[in-house]
Amino acid sequence: MALAAGAPGSGPRTRRFAGFGGVLLAADVWGDESSPPLVLLHGGGQTRWAWGQAGPRLAALGWRVVAPDLRGHGDSGWSTEGAYDLDLFAEDVRALVSELGGRPVLVGASLGGLSSLLAAGETPRAVVRALVLVDVAHRPDPTGVRRITKFMGGQPNGFESVEEAAAAVSAYLPHRPRPDDQEGLRNNLRFRGRRWVWHWDPRLLDRFAGRIDRPGAAERHLAAARHANVPILLARGKISDVVSNDIAAEFCASVPGAQRVDVANAGHMVAGDQNEHFIDAIVPFLTSIRGVP
C-alpha cells in the first residue's frame, strides 16, 4: 500500500509492506512499476538510507528497486518482545518477495544478506531470480564482528549532536573520507530525550552478539546457498575485516557456480564506502541474469 508517490525524478516513493507476523516494513521504491524488481536489504544497525545512492542508480539501469528498513530498524516495526532471531528476518524477506512477485533479485548486505540466503535456500524457499551477497558469506571473521558490535553499543546514551555522531563514525571508519554534508547520517539518527540516538532497536545487539560462531551456523548457511539454486554473487569489500579473502574463497569453493568480485578500497559497508565502484562491480552480474525467467 503506497503512502506517498513522488513524481518521476523527485526521489523515491515511500511504501509499506507486510512482513512476517504483521510487522510493517517501511521501504523506498525507485523505478518504473513495470521493471523487474530488485530488493536492497541493509545490514544490522543500518536503515534503508544506506542505499540512498545505489537505489536511484540501479533504477536508472532499468530495475524497480525496493529498499526496506528491516524489522527493528528505522521506520519499520520494532518487536515488543525484542525478538530478532535471524529466522524472523528471513520470514520478512519471504513475505516481501511474495508480495512483490516477479522473481526479484535480492541484494543483501551483512544481516540483509544472511536473511536473503536463508529465505531463498531453506523451505519454504522464496522465489527469486538471483542473490547478491554484499560482504557476507557462510561465516564471518569474529574479530570484525566484535568490532561492529563494539561500535554499535559504544554510545548507549546517544550523542549530544549529529557532529558528535559523525566523529564516532569517522573513528570507526578511518578509511572513509568524512562527508561535508551530514544529512545522510542524520537520517540514521533520531532525536529523543535531548540526545541523538541510532534509529534501531538497541535490543538487536543481544541477538548479534549471540550470533558469532554459533555452532552449525556456517554449515547451515552453506547448505542454504547450495539449495537456493539461483545465481549467486559475493561482492566483498577488499579491505573488509568481516569477510576475509580466505572466507570468500572458501564460500565460492563450497557453492557450485558462485561468483565473486572484490570492491577496491571498500570495507564491510561496501556501498557506503565505494558506492560507484560497488554498482560497477555488480552490473555485469545483474546484466547476465536479467533475462533469467
pLDDT of 178? 80
Q: For residue 152, is it within any domain?
A: no
- Give a yes or no: residue 234 inside a domain: yes
Percent of the chain with pLDDT over 70: 94
Q: Is residue 43 part of a domain?
A: yes
- For 152-289, strand residue ranges (E) read 189-192, 195-198, 232-237, 259-263
Q: What DSSP character marks residue 225?
A: H
Give per-residue pLDDT as tens, 207-239: 776 565 678 999 999 999 999 999 999 999 999
52/55 Cα distance (integer angstroms): 6
How far, in Å, CA of 254 to CA of 35, rounded?
33
Confidence (pLDDT) at 232: 98
Supply the pLDDT for residue 208.
72
pLDDT of 85 higher than 80: yes
Locate all alpha helices (DSSP H) within 123-216, ordered by sequence: 142-152, 162-172, 183-186, 204-211
Distances (CA, A) of 235 to 113, 137, 215, 261: 11, 10, 25, 5
> What range defines the domain where residue 83 resides?
2-144+215-289
Highest mean pLDDT among 76-80, 95-99, 193-197: 95-99
| Within-domain flag for 173 | no
The domain total for the chain is 1
- 22 found inside a domain: yes
